[in-house]
Chains A and B, each alone.
Chain A
Amino acid sequence: MRALDTKPYSGSVVAVGGLALAFLVVPVLFIVYYAFNASRYFALPPVPLTVHWFANFFDNERFQAALHASFEIAGLVTPLSLAVAVPSAIAIVRGSFRGRALLNTALLSPLMVPGVVTGIAFLGLFSQLNVASGFWRVTAALSCFTLPFAVRALVANLHGLDPALEEAARNLGASRWRAFLHVTLPQLRPGLLAGGIFVFVEAIDNFSISVFLTDVDTTTLPVEAYNYIRDFDDPTVAAMATLLIGLTVTLVFLVQRVTGLDKFLDLK
């Protein structure tokens, strides 16, 4: 049904778009290559490949501690953030009270504040409250900070749902809670997945807030990697990055299979 046999864009659009795409993908591919680079430094022509840097990453006690802390923090932050986001999103989309729009704007506001400012603000608050544990400081701050990601995903999901289904369940005698649990919640699965992945990845990846809140007992992977880069010059951080990229690619494939990437992006 396309009207003309020509494409809707010219060759130069394809060229610039293709270059932009290459620009995006090269650093990601390069870091994976560099992680297997046998030499301590990058070299041309290519040197033999090795898994030495991965072994180095897993042998390094500080990286191991950071790996555990990062996954524990993300494992706490993700359900916490989603648990707050589900009722909030329902209140925003289905509620009928005044101030819903204001609530929506207020919930997005953490995204507008530079991470460094948020980090120092929480550092100040926790120092006044005498919260000395780096682990809990990072967990609490990231739970607040990641809330907008989860709320956006769930709001977009809820907008696409028909409230009549839940009403039908209510008319057939289901309690409000039962109707939610058996009718609405299953339909929120794509939003929970997309929001959950965003929150999880951000919790693993966050640097600018966490760097102020970690302490000698608890550092996270990005903070540890940052310190390592300053002190050493070898591809150990590239090995860490490769593992995280592998995790990301797996999660994105999962989204693609469950909801489709286009859906995922409608959340924007």
Chain B
Amino acid sequence: MTGARQPDGRWLALPALLVLGLFFTAFGTFIALSLLHAVPGTASIAGPASLDNYRAVAGLALNREVTLDTLWLALQLTGICILVGYPLAYLMARTPSRTVRNLILFVLVVTFLSGGVTRAYSWLIILGNTGLVNSLIKKLGFAMVPLVHNRTGVVISLTHFLLPFFVLTLFGALKTVPAMLEEAARNLGASRLRSFLAVTLPLSVPGLIAASTLTYAVALSSFLFPALLGGGRNPMAANLIYMKILDAFDIPAAAAMATLFLVIALGCVGLFALVERLAQPRFPLARRHG
């Protein structure tokens, strides 16, 4: 339509490429550092390059246990988010009332934006030994239940942190599943549960996997919540890496740990993405008859 030389707009990508360059340079430096070693007693880092750090990191049983435990815990948290978050996303997508939808959106967005330290701290006080929950338990005449500095506190607070990610992503997908299809199934005599199981659920599988992938990826990199609510006794992978920096100030060893963890984490997230791709063609949205 337009004149002779239409630029394709590649120069517009230049600033982004500079930022990405900085980002990937940081990672390049980082992987290079992981091959060197810290000179004991000083802040300097020296060669020769070797895989010693990786051998040391992988050789430590604690590192292997915590890594496996992190992968498993992230999976459990994703499961909890599906159970608790799916009904909420569904309610939000299907409610006929704009006010209800906006209220849910408002709560999700405010929670989402209200800050990690804020929320971790709030849970610390709510679940603490003299906190809201235990005060109520004591008033009812029961014995105190330890809810912080253990796995329970980490799971509760992390579920709270992850839920908005999950619900907001799933909501986007559920909205695109036409409510008409469900109504048609209902009109044909299917029960509510059956029309959900046979129509809505299969159609929402790609969105469900996308939301779970995001939730799993965010859960894997948890750092603040296990640090504050786990009381140092329930470290996740990121906490171990942090301790390596803080306690030993061994940047090369921490870099090796972080690189290994990054590879494992991306591998697991990649598995989710693979499942997503496999699930896609089986439930094409275009197939409207049924």
Contacts and interface: CB of A to CB of B under 8 A. Distances in A.
Interface of A: 2-4, 6-10, 12-14, 16-17, 19-21, 23-28, 30-31, 34, 41-44, 83-85, 87-88, 90-92, 94-97, 103, 106-107, 109-110, 112-118, 120-125, 127-128, 140, 143-144, 147, 151, 167, 170, 197, 201, 204-205, 207-208, 211-212, 221-222, 225-226, 229, 237-238, 240-241, 244-245, 248-249, 251-252, 255-256, 261-262, 264-266, 268
A122 B22 CA distance: 9
A265 B116 contact: no
Contacts of A117: 221, 238, 241, 258-259, 261-262
A143 B12 contact: no
Contacts of A127: 251
Interface residues of B, number: 99
Given A17-B92, A120-B255, A256-B102, 20 more contacts: A4-B186, A17-B91, A20-B87, A21-B107, A27-B160, A44-B135, A87-B15, A91-B9, A103-B16, A115-B223, A128-B29, A144-B22, A201-B113, A201-B115, A204-B115, A208-B116, A211-B242, A248-B114, A249-B110, A252-B106
Contact of A106 (B20, B85, B193, B258): B20
A122 B26 CA distance: 5
Given A95-B9, A124-B30, A222 B126 contact: no
A47 B192 CA distance: 48
Q: Which of A84, A110, A120 has the most CB of B within 10 A?
A: A120
Contacts of A19: 84
B125 A34 contact: yes
Contacts of B237: 114
A116 B242 contact: yes
A179 B275 CA distance: 44
Contact of B163 (A24, A87, A115, A248): A24
8 contacts: A24-B160, A85-B16, A97-B9, A113-B262, A115-B223, A147-B19, A238-B121, A265-B171
A164 to B, nearest CB: 10
B183 interface: yes
Given A10-B192, A17-B88, A87-B14, A229 B121 contact: yes
A264 B26 contact: no
A8 B174 CA distance: 13
A256 B265 CA distance: 36
- 9 smallest CB-CB distances across A and B, nearest first, come from A114-B221, A95-B9, A88-B16, A91-B12, A17-B91, A241-B118, A27-B122, A121-B30, A16-B87
A95 B163 contact: no
Nearest to A223: B117
What does DSSP make chain A's interface, helix, strand, loop or mixed? helix
B15 A83 contact: yes
B33 to A, nearest CB: 5
Interface in B126-153: 126, 128, 130-132, 135-136, 139
Contacts of A268: 168-169, 171-172
A204 B118 CA distance: 12
A24 B166 CA distance: 13
Contact of B183 (A8, A106, A226, A256): A8
B269 A261 contact: no
A107 B24 CA distance: 11
A31 B266 CA distance: 35
A170 B2 contact: yes
B288 interface: no
A47 B96 CA distance: 42
A143 B108 CA distance: 25
Nearest to B157: A27
Given A114-B221, A147-B19, A24 B30 contact: no
Q: Which of B2, B8, B118 has the most CB of A within 10 A?
A: B118
Given A97-B10, A116-B242, A23 B84 contact: yes
Contact of B265 (A87, A114, A212): A114
B88 A16 contact: yes
Given A42-B135, A268-B169, A13 B87 contact: yes
A251 B160 contact: no
Nearest to B170: A268
A58 B261 CA distance: 40
Nearest to A200: B113
A42 B2 CA distance: 69
Contacts of B121: 31, 225, 229, 237-238, 241
A2 B16 contact: no
Contacts of A238: 121-122, 125
B114 A25 contact: no
Contact of B251 (A26, A110, A116, A123): A123
